[in-house]
Amino acid sequence: MNDLPPRTAALPPSPFLRLTALLGTTPPGEPPIALSVGEPQGPVPGFVAEILARETAGFSKYPPIQGTDALRKAIAGWLTRRYRLAPGAVDPETMVLPLNGTREGLFMAHFVVVPERKAGGRPAVLMPNPFYSAYPSGALASGAEPVYVNALKETGFLPAYGELPAETLERTALAIIASPSNPEGAVAGLEDWKTLFALADRYGFAVFADECYSEIYTGATPPLGALEAAQRLGRGFERLLVFNSLSKRSGLAGLRSGFVAGDPKLIARYRDLRSNAGPQLSGPLQAVSAHAWGDDVHVAANQAIYRANFAVAQQELGNRPFFRMPDGGFFLWLETGNGVATAETLWRTAGLRVVPGAFLANDAGIGRTRGNPGTNFIRLALVNAEETTRAALRRLARVLPGPGT
């Protein structure tokens, strides 16, 4: 069949396949250290095995697609506690839906909010550039045009949607924000949310807040969340959905457990869609998840791993002109110049596997600059144990010397 529909032909290529092709058969200069994949490497919390052992019988049953009451209550409780929401602001019955990780939701929820046409044209989905691959995939699969808005240093490493032409904003069905963002680790503040909500209300589009890095942060105060911002601005949750998961918060990326919460109208439609086409989260995993959302102790242990790594980064790279401490997430986004050449050099001379920034972004970016905003950057995932991170960053500091070295 050579006449496949073009929708799925335009999906972004995998940055990891591009990295493998770039490094090819070049041998590493030293024993390899991977800083490429953002996969937690910490220990699995002890309660996981205990609860699974207790709940094994549940594997023989079809689990409830809308999640157990216990899980939805635990999620609503966490949201209320974490974001200081008014009691009852998140109704676990109507405003929370468990998912197989945020990736599922960030893709599938497009079908809930993207119409056939908007303002007489093809609907647009605004997304940050660099982006997470589920965003353009969801936009394209739902028939929308993905609009890649460059997240630049000049705009606080967040996309400035308010600077887009009115013609684009009128066609916009959905705007996606990741906060903390991947790869830049930028966090949206109250003013950013105020601007975005004003645009969403003026042009009638939905907002998806990808908050899966919300519990990994470098400062003293946890990052502001979209529901929290909406409450503080007195806006309500209309056309707003937030996505979060246990992948980073609890270091349980393989559990595939997340949720979407927000506008009950959107949640109801998504629940109907999932009832027909969505994957259930198995019963025993729902029991583990309910416990995890109710417990903050294991999260503190997990956060300590990243804090230690960021302290190492400050010590080893703090005097380099390209160093920037992110506000959140577990990546370093370093402006080293020519990211492809830097990644190749780091591998060939020091055995370090890092991702060129250009591989994480689209060449068709728009905004204050056009083109690929990642060209001069590399991304490092600080997910390894402290001593491995230190060894890696020492090697990097040697290959990319700073002033006076």
Ligand X SMILES: Cc1ncc(COP(=O)(O)O)c(C=O)c1O
Residues that bind ligand X (CB under 6 A): 38, 101-103, 106, 132, 178, 182, 210, 212, 245, 247, 253, 258
CB 369 within 8 A of CB 152: yes
**345, two tokens:** 């050099």
Minimum gap (Å) between residue 387 Cβ and ligand X? 24
Element (H, E) at 330: none
The length of the chain in residues reads: 405
* Residue 203 vs 333, nearer CB to ligand X: 333
* Residue 155 vs 182, nearer CB to ligand X: 182
* Residue 203 vs 331, nearer CB to ligand X: 331
Minimum gap (Å) between residue 384 Cβ and ligand X? 16
* Residue 19 vs 212, nearer CB to ligand X: 212
* Residue 132 vs 203, nearer CB to ligand X: 132
d(CA 293, CA 314): 31
Minimum gap (Å) between residue 378 Cβ and ligand X? 16
At residue 305, what is the residue type? I
Minimum gap (Å) between residue 369 Cβ and ligand X? 22
Position with the least CB separation from ligand X:
101
Minimum gap (Å) between residue 296 Cβ and ligand X? 19
* Residue 118 vs 250, nearer CB to ligand X: 250
Minimum gap (Å) between residue 38 Cβ and ligand X? 5
Q: Which of 340, 333, 389 is nearest to 34 (CA)?
A: 389
Q: Which of 111, 380, 368, 403 is nearest to 241 (CA)?
A: 111
CB 249 within 8 A of CB 362: no
Contacts of 9 (CB under 8 A, 6+ apart): none
**133, two tokens:** 């691959």
* DSSP 8-class letter at 331: E
